[in-house]
Structure 1
Amino acid sequence: MAPAAEQPTPRHGRDAFFIEGEGVVGDGPTPALTARANTSQTSVAARAAAPTFRFSRVGPTGVRLPEATLRKVAQAMTGGSESDGAIPSGYTYLGQFVDHDLTFDATSVAFGDAVSPADLLQGRSPTLDLDSLYGAGPLDSVSSGFYESDRTRLKVGRTTKVGGDKARAGFDVPRVGGDAAGRARANIPDRRNDENLVVAQTHAAMIRFHNRVVAGLGAGTPAGERFEKARRRVVLHYQWMLRHDYLPRICDGAVVKDVFDNGRKVVEPGADPLSMPTMPVEFSVGAFRLGHSMVREAYDWNARFPSGSGTLDLLFFFSGTSGGLGGDPTLPSNWIADWRRLYRFAQVGRPDLKPPAGEFNLARRIDTRLVDPLGLLPAGSFAGSASDEGTIRANLAFRNLVRARMLQLASGQQMAALLRANGVPVATLTKAQLRDGAGGRSSAQLDTLTAAQRDAFLADTPLWFYVLREAELNDGTLSGVGARLVAETFHRAMEGSTHSIVRSTGFRPSLGAKAGRFRMADLLLVAFEGRRELLAPLGD
């Protein structure tokens, strides 16, 4: 399932990182906008020297464990997971959408060819401001292509008629161009949001949400102010939803409350709130990869693909990046999401929006096991080649562990010690806890490691594995090191955003069905006008 021809390679599997104070770290070439180097007005040398993203290192450098050890651990982690958690499956891919918002590489699309090193540095910040949705705004020469002619509303996509399922506007991301087979590529700022069907449907829903907010602006709002007013409202509600709905589902709620009430201890503590944040590699390459363990191998997707027939490989196949939309020009209409199967609308006062009995999808429990398909990723999902498919290079756990090794990422034990040194009472997991976990099918076992390999792994445990083991021992919720890193990074990303619920402490949501409450289900109700026939257009 290679990416469609003419599709630019998404920058999902980064080989090198520019870390402030260290320069380029990693085994690959410097991240640069090499694809456009021949036509750029900026010199190739300047591009090669300029960082594309503002990473930082919170903790110390760690030990590089041998790849042979990581290979065995990865294989133990991808042996299959059958344990459901309590979190609805939609939040798995909301987390992926958020990750792309935090780490979007704007140099790929937002500035065109005449990008300078200063643009590279300033054009993208790890803030929660939805620039993966908005790009550089409707007045930017490149990003203007994402907008309607009014320079306020975002363009929507149209699905392809399949059998009795008619073409529908607003249920796919917008697309442009096409390859030799007629398949169009996503016309959105971050094309990684087209790498699987669920995150693409989430992006399409966010487009609808923005356009609905625009429609709700008063007639007296001047035309030149409509976009910025809508964006501010969208971003603040989005951040509120992340703070009060998403974070408490994946993290220990007491940790989230402490961070947002009392501030950060290790992620840029005391930073000027208006300064540009950086992205901690311990978050990006370690803690926030928690969502990989939440992925199911199959979903009760919609009325056409119920009872687990929406398999993970098909959700890759019917996306533009990983499968080329199954050969269709745009998303086939029979693959439109039924949101009732992914989020609980009864919790926001809409019990009429329940899916058919037995057709609700829970995310897999956050633990050290990943479902089988993640051990065999399609090459298009990580910008690999056909020769990578079926090898250890296509194993997601191995890719995560090797990338952390490449950066000499701090171990879980080192991060626990750092937090304690900064006044956070975090306990270090014991070697027995790290070795055995919670037991059962939700726990990766280290039996294939030699005694020497196991001893080294338990002494300097890779941060990603450590964070997942913490969650596994906490009934599927991040705690300790993982919860603190995630909550603090979110707090700093919100604080540093142009529109910020951290700085605008008086903000309260106004768009949800209940005053002062705004969950992802509320956002979807706004986006789809509260109508069953839009939230589940293919019926039961």
Structure 2
Amino acid sequence: MAAGHAKHGSETFFIEGEGVLSTQVGGRRGEDADPVNASSAPRRSAPTPLAAGAAPPFRFSRMGPKGPTLPLGVARKLARAMTVGGGGTAGNVPAGYTYLGQFVDHDLTLDRTALMTSGEIDPATLLSGRSPSLDLDSVYGAGPGSEGSLVFYAADKVHLRVGDTQKESGIGVKKGHDLPRVGTGGAAAARRAQIPDARNDENLAVGQTHLAFLHFHNRVVDALPASTPPGQRFRLARRRTTLHYQWVVRHDYLPRICDPAVLDDVWDHGRKVFEAAATPMSVPTMPVEFSVAGFRMGHSMIRESYNWNAVFPDGAGSLDLLFFFSGTGGDLGGNQKLVSTWIADWRRMYDFPAGGRPALAAPGSGVNRAMRIDTRLTDPLAFLPPGSFGGDDSTPPMQHNLAFRNLVRGSLVRLATGQQMVARLQAAGVAVTPLTKAQILTGKNGAALDQLTAAERDAVAARTPLWFYVLREAELNNGRLTGVGARILAETFHRAMEGSRVSIVREPAWRPNIAGAREGRFEMTDLLFFAFGTKAELAPAG
């Protein structure tokens, strides 16, 4: 977020340049460190300019009014309530969509601003290193015409580079199943992924998702007619890749996590709150209500462990190991490349129609289901490893708690409360029903607020932190965002697509030209199958 010290109540937190506003579990200092990391780092007295060649600065903004601060004592109690007891129950969304959401988030937001702050952060001062348009700049960088981005591309400057795995336990080298890596220098340098956004190598699930998009682009290139002029091949491939990606987000991902009626209302009748009068091709901003609250719903979808592949089935793919076998969140198990035993089996992460397992599978069938979107987070998120957020062994235990970090982050940017956002939406003519006091305090098999005092419960019910409010709405709607949360996501994604250099919003007649398994549809499973080409390549470890 910003760099400097922020005095918040009786504690001081170090604020470091980060991807503020992500669904991710953690990141690295200077790239995606968290704003509530106590540190002995020196105080900075002046803003630090963006590095030469860095992505152009895009801006954050507010969708709603400025809200109140959240007392640290209340933040602690809420965080404990949200991370106790194992994280609730699995929902009906295949677990792969958790990490597709993280990939999408990294395509939209990366805060690289460095500034001094004292207790409050003004979103208007924040600079983003990611375009707040859904345009895959996290995959393409500045394009093959930019010297700084050439490392991402093959020699023909049309295909994207991919990497090979390392033989392990009888499973040989698998070509194209790792991110491209430096491969030289010291251990840390050698394993560094050569991709535009290092956050997409912070855990194995998002890393393998990024790899799938590299393959998808390359397959799109190969499918272009032979008559396509050489100078047009990259431009056409990027256009087709981006349009199919936007289609998957709009028609496959978002309806699984948001009330479809809210999505349809925004797409059919336009935005009413966020940049409603913006010129379609003008550069969007990124609302903090989305990046600090609404799209952080993905944290509640994270599982403690996964049925990862044939080598690590039935929960052996723990969340800790998914970090360990990445190049940013871990050290690839001490190797320079991903070992072949840890390649994703996509049939276990998504409900492939022909995958031999039923769609939205029941427990035990093999398909991982994401946790229900609600006010509970799985156990490992109560104590993140310090390397995932730029901390160290001296970081106080509460500052390892992801829920606490999210709540404090929202307070630092003075997010509107859930009640303020209800009023904002209603004033704009959006029909939204506010949660009652009883619904906020009791929920439906979510976080129990018994440890708060009567006065604290009254305060939370009257001025509910936006992130908690959005999750409580979903919890009461069987794990799908509705009301305030669904509207924040729908309007932000509509604007992000509208403002992209190519856009399914500005080209409403466009339809996918790659056939899907379900007639008339193109989903993430279709993108994966096209990207990898065969069923065997969807599960190279067996």
Question: Equivalents in 2 of 1:132, 1:107: separation in Å?
Answer: 18
Q: Deviations for 1:174-218, whole angstroms, at most 9, x for unmatched residues? A: 111453477511110000011111000000111000000000011
Residue 470 of structure 1 aligns with an amino acid whose one-letter code is: E
Aligned to 2:332: 325
Instruction: Choose from 425, 432, 457 the match for 1:426.
Output: 432
Runs of 5+ in structure 1 lacking a partner?
Answer: 1-6, 17-26, 42-46, 109-119
What is aligned with 2:509? 506
Checking the alignment, whether the CA contact within 8 Å between 1:512 and 1:523 is kept in structure 2 is no
Letter in 1 for 2:312: F
Give the corresponding residue for 1:304: 311
Alignment of structure 1 residues 370-449 onto 2, 5 Å: 370-388=377-395, 391-439=397-445, 443-449=446-452
Equivalent position SS for 2:147: coil
Give the 5 Å matches for 1:187-226.
187-226=194-233
Residues 178 and 184 of structure 1 are in contact (CA less than 8 Å); yes or no, is this contact kept in structure 2?
no
| Structure with the larger helix share | 1
Q: 1:526 aligns with which of 511, 525, 530?
A: 530
Q: Does 1:76 align with 2:81?
A: yes
The TM-score normalised by the length of structure 1 is 0.87
Aligned counterpart for 2:458 among listed residues 455, 462, 465 = 455
Contact 1:318-1:325 at 8 Å conserved across structures? yes
SS in structure 1 of the partner of residue 394 of structure 2: helix
Show the counterpart of 2:11. Answer: none
SS state of the match for residue 363, structure 1? strand
Aligned equivalent of 1:186? 193
Structure 1 CA distance for aligned equivalents of residues 45 and 160 of structure 2: 35
The residue that corresponds to 1:13 in the other structure is 33
Please name the residue that 2:12 is paired with.
none
5+ residue gaps, structure 2: 1-26, 37-42, 115-125
Letter in 2 for 1:238: Y
2:113, 2:415 → 1: CA distance?
25
Distance 1:222 1:334, change over 3 A: same
SS at structure 2 position matched to 1:87: strand
Flag the 1:277–1:312 CA change in 2: closer, same or farther, 3 A.
Answer: same
Name the amino acid aligned to 1:330.
K
Using the alignment, how far apart are the partners of 1:455 and 1:479 within structure 2?
23
Could you tell me which residue of structure 2 aligns to residue 65 of structure 1? 70
Deviations 1:15-74 (A, max 9, x none): 49xxxxxxxxxx99887457x5xxx59xxxxx9xx9944100111111112111101100
TM-score (norm 2): 0.86
Q: 1:9 to 1:64 in 2, by over 3 A?
A: closer
- Distance in 1 (CA, whole Å) between partners of 2:130 and 2:307 is 36
Structure 1 200/67 Cα, relative in aligned 2: closer, same or farther at 3 Å? same
Q: What is the SS of the residue equivalent to 1:186?
A: coil
The 3-state SS of whatever aligns with 1:171 is coil
- Give how far 1:161 is off: 1.1
- Please name the residue that 1:517 is paired with: 521
1:271-304 deviation per Cα after TM superposition (whole angstroms, max 9, x unaligned): 1001000000000001000000000001000000
Where does 1:73-222 land on structure 2 (aligned, <5 Å)? 73-79=78-84, 80-104=86-110, 124-176=130-182, 177-180=184-187, 183-222=190-229
- State the shift of 1:384 in Å: 2.6
Equivalent in the alignment of 2:484: 481
Q: 1:463 corresponds to which letter in structure 2?
A: L
Q: What is the distance in 2 between the residues matched to 1:507 and 1:381?
A: 40
- Amino acid in structure 2 at the alignment position of 1:509: P
Distance 1:106 1:508 in 2: 36
Residues 28 and 215 (structure 1), Cα distance of their counterparts in 2 relative to 1, 3 Å cut? farther
Q: Which amino acid in structure 2 is aligned with residue 67 of structure 1?
A: L
| Corresponding residue number in structure 1 for 2:275 | 268
1:121 Cα deviation after fit: 6.9
The percent identity for this pair of structures is 59
CA change 1:121–1:227 in 2 (3 A) is farther
Q: Deviations over 1:425-478 (max 9, x none)?
A: 111111110000013xxx101111122222211111000000000000000000
8 A contact 1:255–1:483 mirrored in 2: yes
* Greater Cα shift, 226-235 or 76-85: 76-85
Aligned residues between the structures: 493
In structure 2, distance between residues paired with 1:474 and 1:243: 20
